[in-house]
Amino acid sequence: MKIKKSLSSIIMDIIVYTILILVAVVTIVPLMRVVTLSMAPPEVVTQYGINLIPTKFSWDGYKKDLEYSLIWTGYQNTVLRVAVGTVLNLFLVIIGAFPLSKKYLPNQKFWTVIIIITMYFSGGMIPSYILITKYLGLNNSFWSLILPTAVSAYNLIVVRNFFAQIPESLEESARLDGAGDWMVLFRIIVPLSKPVLATVALWCVVSHWNSWFDCLLYIQSQKKFVLQLVLRQILLEGQNIDTSTTAVYVNTETMKMATIVVSTLPVLCIYPFLQKYFVQGVMIGAVKG
């Protein structure tokens, strides 16, 4: 049986689909241009107009990009940062959100408010720099990229809201069987929280993968540079990248676009596997305050 739509519903559908199409175009067109320019020869890059579909191919940009030794160093450091940072973020968020989700926690609302306040107020960049470099002694250390962002107040609140919606009867049943806090948390709560934890993990992965400013502040050794800082160097240096003992001329735009593709591709490959949890985790974790 077909349901006849009203005029207002048809108009709303047209508006929604128009907006979605515009958003898709705004997202896809720049991506197509980046990919096209990354594999285009110099004569195509310098042509007037918007090139969206490759007509000629040249892999010089990728070749010179991958010959740049700092690219692989940056990849190694970034993958290590993403792995260690994401695992640490998730662990601390889980063990922090679990007690906050319990009504029997003394002064529960007070501690929640204190955490929320940190989302809006901070000491600023200079006090943070002094704290990390002078008092904590993390200057030029890998941990200066991990520890200052080990716990996100926003992620903590989202996971806490999700935990709070899990029926208390499950925890009570486990405790009657002799389960302690750690067993309740990791045997019952965490397995039931895969959607929100996958969402938070995706946020952490993307955040660590894209971060470069903290590396610029705290890291002096090039051997410890993350990929995004290496990308910044390539974009600033432009034409001349020392890939061997001599400087090799590379078209500026081709080199830049190839570097962007190389640095973005891993996240694009990971995202589809976590995307199915994304909407469910955000909506459920953000409904209850």
Please identify, among 15, 31, 58, the residue that sits at the C-terminal boundary of a domain.
58
Q: Are 142 and 38 members of one domain?
A: no
Q: Which residues pair with 241 in a beta bridge?
A: 248
Do 151 and 83 lie in one domain? The reply is: yes
Q: Tell me the C-alpha distance between 31 and 247, whole Å.
A: 29
DSSP state of 105: S
- In this structure, what are the phi and psi dihedrals at residue 58, rounded to the nearest 5 degrees? -150, 130
Q: Confirm if 138 and 218 have CB atoms less than 8 A apart.
A: yes
- Overall number of domains in the chain: 2
User: Looking at residue 136, which CATH number applies to its domain?
Assistant: 1.10.3720.10
Domain end call among 37, 58, 79: 58
Q: Are residues 240 and 265 in the same domain?
A: yes
170 and 124 inside one domain: yes
Co-location of 275 and 150 in the same domain:
yes
Reported pTM: 0.76
- Whether residues 171 and 191 fall in one domain: yes
CB 247 within 8 A of CB 241: yes
Asked whether residue 96 falls in the same domain as residue 9, the answer is: no
Q: Do 181 and 242 lie in a common domain?
A: yes
| Same domain, yes or no: 91 and 53 | no
**Containing structural domain, residue 181:** 59-287
39 & 113 share domain? no
| Angle ∠(186,189,194) on CA atoms, nearest 5 | 95
For position 35, what pLDDT does the model report? 83
How would you write the pLDDT of the chain (289 residues) with one tens digit per residue?
566 777 788 888 899 999 999 998 888 888 888 888 787 776 666 666 666 676 777 777 777 777 777 888 888 999 999 999 999 999 999 999 999 988 888 888 899 899 989 888 888 888 889 999 988 889 999 999 999 989 989 999 989 988 988 888 888 888 888 888 888 888 889 988 888 888 898 889 889 988 989 999 999 888 899 988 888 877 776 544 444 443 444 456 777 778 788 778 877 777 777 666 666 555 554 444 4
Are both 145 and 245 inside the same structural domain? Answer: yes
Helix (H, G, I), strand (E, B) or coil at 140: coil
Same domain assignment for residues 87 and 50: no
Domain closes at, from 9, 35, 58:
58
Copy the structure tokens of residue 121: 């107020």
Nearest-CA neighbor of 85 among 143, 133, 154, 153? 143
